[in-house]
A and B are shown apart, each in its own frame.
Chain A
């Protein structure tokens, strides 16, 4: 049994000296307590790979934790392979006699460099979470000293994390709401329960409990601070990135009939995602070929392209390369590409970014006209007050204390002002933004308040 433990420790920590294994055992003891302090199970410390990820979660560095964990497991596997190749001989005399060993050494070295970088990132996070001086980092750099911070922060009561992983689960339970929006015969109805992603075998909730009904002909402003899930929400609404939701457009389920209805939704992304070396006309003709039904003749496609160029003022630039267009023209071309199929639901992610006030106003007036033809137009903008008079409704998304995007308000512009007791849209955003983002940190309050107003 002792031999097995010794072998495992040797493999795990890549050390040949048993006394160093003892130091690593101290590290594990410290890590156990660190995980417990952050509200996680201490036994994760005993599982190679998993403990790295859990540690990264404690440090608020989940993304880094994935690489940290994978490289740790990969190094462990390489050591196991080396041990297998060296079976039957003295374990202390693993020499690069064979090509296999050389390959293992090269891979091990490469992975170790990557792991070291992520090790530094994760432990930097731990230093922030425990609010200790940065000089502690020196002790975190080597496997000979890492046990000291782990043991001290883990076992000394004075050191406590600024936040715990378990807090998120508690907060999620506290902020849970219920209810749903009534499906409209004509218009858009969104009943979103959850929008989740799986990251490294762990479910993460991006959006939760968003319910609303938007009538046809409405132009809707979508507000929210950074990280509140605006783009995620729009992607879920247009059906490309599906959520646990029911999205009904004119009484038809967008998710179940996505293939048929995807042309009913036009989504204009934040940046101008077009081929810069193509001409305006060819870009739109190709967009028309792709988006318009098969029965539309070439002549009709050309007429539609001319019509759209005329609406958005691109006729004179039709033979220009996209890269030669001004910022405003590029925005308009990007909108044209989606508008060419005459969609019922038109979604625009920050169409005014990079535009001056006059151009932005003109663009939003154009969108208003589109809405007036009986379309639903949903727009994200970070400068809402200069064009707020053009909108019918506003959606306010906020990031709650469980770090999930929530609906803080949906209704008319005037109702929003009253609900938040603010006179401008920008102040509304500020009120729901987290304190870390310079806001008032009232997201949880408004989320619960609106849920009560909406569903009783």
Chain B
């Protein structure tokens, strides 16, 4: 006591006590002790647990495709905000009365908050490192190269740290505002919901609420992680996988012949162009044609169709010329060119002068198509013209163009046709992989956001945005706490 008194300056001299900087070291040391004795250390295993759970969900999606990366980035932002908020939400309000007492004894509020900032900074760094390590363990595959630093993981860590720390400062401010821990924990859910809902990336917001996204840490947080993960240049997989799941779904509808032809003539569409380039048809003799028809069950059924009206052989042949079923059967078996060739042969018979007498022969009332064909003497004709070659090689595009230019078809452009099929059949015709790739590329183009472009300017800009949040919230915490009992003082 005597020594102390000797050291005490006289009342006329200014007595200097600890400066703000020196007080920071006092409180920083105190907080480090509290980390051990109090429950502050529990935030570290909690961060590991949360990172593990989230990591298991996102490991196969993040850095793989666009929506998986965006979802993963959002999940990581949520983890960071969660960690940051729960680090400091109670730190001031739980010792508010102690702060008042110490403030009365000469403690500077700014020193107290700055010491908290330093302490929370260490805590956030540790949490970020733990989160990254745990996500690596559970199987999240981070890209190797960074944009700002040489390592991607270091870039990502800086972003995660800044988001965590900014959230930490936000809840430090809330803790300074709240009079007790109950109030702070009541405010907390609203802060979290506000941050997550108004992140501006995952949920589509009404236009009038978009300004609110400027007040959330999650907005620049999501942008920086999405930009670093190069979200824009990853394929959009959801639509493609949905198409695969829809294989059994029935599709179809009524459309006109003209619409169908227009689609088939769209050479700018790469898928259609590929189909148009496919070669079809083959050259064969009439004998080969007959042999093929004899094997066809459809043709056999067609032969058994009854012809019920009085008619001549010419009528029967004209029926055959116009019979779509026959043409369809031949087209299915041998291609449209062959069918066309047969039609030409029949037409030649009809036009032949020497066949006119025969053509005028009356047929019985009840007969079948087969009878008609036998009456015509198709076997003899095939014997006679059996070596005549019919058909030829051509592309689907040529066939389509020929059809489209045909005056009869032109006249039928407005004729409606009804198609019923399944997604799977269409995918098989066009090629499922090609459709998926096409959809992924197109969806990614549509989903492109300049905010998510992986550039140094973007990333550093977002880091600065988050840093401004840190400074603002810390300043608000100081200002708020400076007003502690201000009305009384």
Contacts and interface: CB of A to CB of B under 8 A. Distances in A.
Interface of A: 98-100, 197-198, 235, 238, 240-242, 250, 252, 260, 262-263, 267, 269, 271, 273-275, 277-278, 282, 286-287, 289-296, 300, 303-304, 307, 321, 337-338, 342
B3 A260 contact: no
Given A267-B104, A286-B30, A241 B11 contact: no
A365 to B, nearest CB: 18
A273 B97 contact: yes
Interface stretch (B16-24, B252-260, B296-304, B317-325): B16-24
B14 to A, nearest CB: 7
B17 A342 contact: no
Contact of A252 (B9, B11, B15, B34): B11
A300 B3 contact: yes
B352 interface: no
A54 B424 CA distance: 76
B26 A275 contact: no
A293 B17 contact: yes
B98 interface: yes
Nearest to B485: A241
B7 interface: yes
27 contacts: A99-B209, A240-B488, A241-B489, A250-B11, A262-B104, A263-B105, A263-B106, A273-B98, A273-B101, A275-B98, A277-B33, A277-B37, A277-B38, A286-B29, A289-B18, A290-B105, A290-B106, A293-B15, A294-B18, A294-B22, A295-B9, A296-B4, A296-B7, A300-B4, A304-B4, A342-B1, A342-B5
A290 B4 contact: no
A99 B105 contact: no
A241 B488 contact: yes
B383 interface: no
Contacts of B18: 289-290, 294
B75 to A, nearest CB: 27
A294 B16 contact: yes
B107 interface: yes
Contacts of B106: 262-263, 290-291
A342 B15 CA distance: 14
Contacts of A295: 7, 9, 16
B102 interface: yes
Contacts of A300: 3-4, 7
Contact of A294 (B17, B37, B95): B17
Interface in B67-117: 95, 97-98, 100-102, 104-107
Given A294-B18, A307-B1, 8 more contacts: A99-B206, A197-B487, A198-B487, A260-B15, A273-B101, A277-B34, A290-B26, A293-B9
Interface of B: 1, 3-5, 7-9, 11, 14-19, 22-23, 26, 29-30, 33-34, 37-38, 95, 97-98, 100-102, 104-107, 206, 208-209, 485, 487-489
A286 B26 contact: yes
Contacts of B19: 294
Q: Which DSSP category, helix, strand, loop or mixed, fits chain A's interface? A: mixed
Contacts of A197: 487-488
A273 B487 CA distance: 21
A292 B9 CA distance: 11
Contacts of A290: 17-18, 23, 26, 102, 105-107
A321 B17 contact: no
Contacts of B9: 293, 295
Contacts of B3: 300, 303
A287 B485 CA distance: 22
B20 to A, nearest CB: 12
Contacts of A271: 97
B175 to A, nearest CB: 15
Contacts of B14: 260
Contacts of B107: 290
A250 to B, nearest CB: 7
Which 5 A-B pairs give the minimum distances between C-beta atoms? A277-B37, A241-B488, A273-B101, A277-B38, A99-B206
Contacts of A278: 30, 33-34, 37
* From B4, B14, B26, B30, residue with most partner A Cβ within 10 Å: B4
A241 B100 CA distance: 12
Contact of B8 (A99, A100, A342): A342
B37 A321 contact: yes
A300 B3 CA distance: 8
Contacts of B209: 99
Contacts of B11: 250, 252
A290 B26 CA distance: 8
A51 to B, nearest CB: 25
Nearest to A321: B37
* From A271, A282, A290, residue with most partner B Cβ within 10 Å: A290
Nearest to B111: A290
A293 B489 contact: no
B94 to A, nearest CB: 10
B30 A240 contact: no
Given A277-B37, A278-B33, A338-B105, A289 B15 contact: no
A96 B18 CA distance: 59
A325 B313 CA distance: 122
B189 to A, nearest CB: 14
A263 B17 contact: yes
B188 to A, nearest CB: 17
A43 to B, nearest CB: 29
A177 B1 CA distance: 44
A277 B41 CA distance: 13
Nearest to A278: B33
Nearest to B96: A273
Contact of B17 (A100, A235, A242, A291): A291
Contacts of B489: 240-242
Contacts of B33: 277-278, 282
Nearest to B101: A273
A341 to B, nearest CB: 8
Given A263-B106, A321-B37, A269 B17 contact: no
Contacts of A293: 7-9, 15-17
Contacts of A99: 206, 208-209
